[in-house]
Amino acid sequence: MEDRIAEPLRAKAVPGFLQVKEAALEAGALAASLSGSGPSLFALCRGVEAGKRVGERMVRAFREAADLHATLTISTGRAPGARILTP
């Protein structure tokens, strides 16, 4: 997943973003990016354990790169997805 339009512009407003994204990918994330215009970031992972590992690495990267406190939230994403409803 690559956002060539919004991410390069918005990333400048989030201290440590590039280092945190790199840390997430190195820790095994399938993808990582800004949520909306930031400052929240997300990473897509295979499973909760991978999510914990990646998330903990992202939190540490924020602290190391920008001396920022971050919190980790894991969402399993088990929603059924888009559906067509007929009346």
| pLDDT over 80 (residue 68) | yes
DSSP SS3 for 37: coil
Residue type for position 51: G
Q: What is the pLDDT of residues 16-41, one digit of tens each?
A: 999 999 999 999 999 999 988 778 99
Q: What is the pLDDT of residue 42?
A: 95
Half-sphere exposure of 37 (CA within 13 A, CB side): 2
Q: What is the pTM of this model?
A: 0.84
Q: So what's the pLDDT on residue 7?
A: 87
Domains contained in the chain, CATH given: 6-66 (3.30.70.890)
User: Which pLDDT score, from 0 to 100, does residue 78 have?
Assistant: 78
Radius of gyration of the chain (CA): 14
Average pLDDT of span 56-82: 92
Distance between CA 17 and CA 87 in Å, rounded?
45
Instruction: Give the pair of three-digit tokens for residue 5.
Output: 């339009």
